[in-house]
Amino acid sequence: MRVLARLLAPKVIAHAHCDLPCGVYDPAQARIEAESVKAIIQKYQDSTDPEFRTRCLIIKEERSELVKHHLWVLWTDYFKPPHFDKYPQLHQLFNEATKLAGAAGTKGTVDVGKADQLLGKIEEISKIFWETKQA
C-alpha cells in the first residue's frame, strides 16, 4: 500500500493564488453575456410578435443566469482575501452586480437601464481585476 501511495504522490507541488494558474479567469465572459442581455432587451422592446418576445424572455433569463455564474466564479475562485483587503468595495460590487443580473435585475425585467447598470458594475469589477493582474 505504501508503494502505491508513493507512486501516486505528486512529484511537484504547484502553488498559485487561484485554483488554476492565472489566465483562465476574465470578467469579459460576464460582460459579453451582459451585453447579450441588453441586446435581447432592446430586440424585445422593438418587437410586437408574441412568440419572438417569449423567446427573447427565455434567452434573456438564461443569459442573465450566465452573467451571475461568471461573476460568482470570479468572486469565489479568482479573488482572494488580499484582494478584498486592498479593494474593500469588491464584495459590495459583486453583490450589486449579481443582484442586477438576478430576479430584481435583468433576469426579471425588460428595463434596458438595468442592463446598463449591470454593465457598469461589471466594468468596475473588470478594472479591479486587471489591476490585480498587474501586481
Express each pLDDT in 4-24 by its tens digit: 677 677 766 554 544 555 557
CATH homologous superfamily for 26-134? Nickel-containing superoxide dismutase (1.20.120.400)
**Are the CB atoms for 41 and 53 separated by under 8 Å?**
no
> According to the model, what pLDDT value does residue 2 have?
77
Q: How far apart are the first and last CA of the chain?
A: 44
Q: Span 96-119, mean pLDDT?
A: 97
Give pTM, 2 decimals.
0.83
What pLDDT does 9 receive?
72
d(CA 74, CA 90): 11
The answer to whether 105 and 64 have CB atoms below 8 angstroms apart is yes
Which has the closest alpha carbon to 93: 125, 66, 69? 125
CA distances from 107 to 40, 74, 81, 85, 101 (A): 11, 20, 30, 31, 6
Q: What pLDDT sits at residue 100?
A: 98
pLDDT tens-digit readout, 71-106: 999 999 999 999 999 999 999 999 999 999 999 999
Location of C-alpha cell 460590487: 93
Does residue 91 contact residue 28 with C-beta atoms inside 8 Å?
A: no
User: Among 7-11, 56-60, 72-76, 107-111, which is the least confidently predicted range?
Assistant: 7-11
How high is the pLDDT of residue 13?
A: 59
Task: Pinpoint the alpha helices (H) of 1-134.
Answer: 2-8, 28-46, 50-73, 81-86, 90-100, 112-134
Alpha-carbon gap, residue 65 to 44, rounded angstroms: 18
What confidence tens digit (pLDDT) does each residue in 20-49 have?
Answer: 555 578 999 999 999 999 999 999 999 999
| pLDDT the model gives residue 12 | 65
Percent of the chain scoring above 70 in pLDDT:
87
